[in-house]
Amino acid sequence: MAKNKFSKEWVMQHINDPFVKLAQQKGYRARAAFKLTEILDAEKLMRRGDVVVDLGATPGSWSQVARERLVVKGGVIDGRIIALDLLPMEPIEGVEFILGDFNEEGVAQQLNALLQGQAVDLVMSDMAPNLSGVGSADSARIQQVCDLALEFSLMHLKPEGALIVKAFHGSGFSQIVESFKRHFKRVVERKPKASRDRSSETFLIAKGRKG
């Protein structure tokens, strides 16, 4: 009974969510588009000609935002967007998509092959593990996802490139921030307006690789 009540509450909140309505109006696949838009505007990231990698891309709202920012006359993308997720994604014109688990060596190699040595301007990761509710296990999973994005960025980002990663406040969060600070000159935390108040999600933006 309580579960049904919770589900109904969630559905009502979702239906009445102004960002959900706005996403529908603008043709975005998810309200998460507005989280990314706010971060890009605040941090002055992404311009035409950029090579962008979108990790954990499905359903594709972040790739939609990237396309809007890189598209020129005639609907051609000035730059490149490569998206990856373990769930299928409806195609987005001009976006190259890899279906697979980024945790698997073969999938990471597929992404490397697609880049063909091309340096990346922006890595953005909205990846989130399936959480179990067990604090220690969940913090380890979150850290692993952030580490994967960080490791990929250190291999492929241009020296002045940037990384956006979704993390969650709680056990292990400070270690993730420290890890980013060891490798990047500037690391900031942002909680966009479109991020629900009750959510512990926080986005880390890292710029300028050290060394």
**Where in the sequence numbering do the catalytic residues fall?**
166
Number of neighbours of residue 171 by Cβ within 10 angstroms: 14
| CB atoms inside a 10 Å sphere around CB 19 | 19
- Say which amino acid occupies 177: V
Q: How far apart are CA 193 and CA 91, in angstroms?
A: 28
Consecutive H or E run containing 167 = strand 157-168
**Is 197 marked as a binding-site residue?**
no
CB-based contact 184:144 (threshold 8 Å): no
Asked if residue 10 belongs to a known ligand binding site, the reply is: no
Q: How many angstroms separate the CA atoms of 183 and 197, rounded?
A: 30
The answer to whether 54 is annotated as binding is no
The answer to whether 85 is annotated as binding is: yes
d(CA 82, CA 151): 17
Q: Known binder of ligand: residue 62?
A: yes
Q: Which amino acid is at 113?
A: A
Provide the annotated binding site for S-adenosyl-L-methionine.
Answer: 60, 62, 85, 101, 126
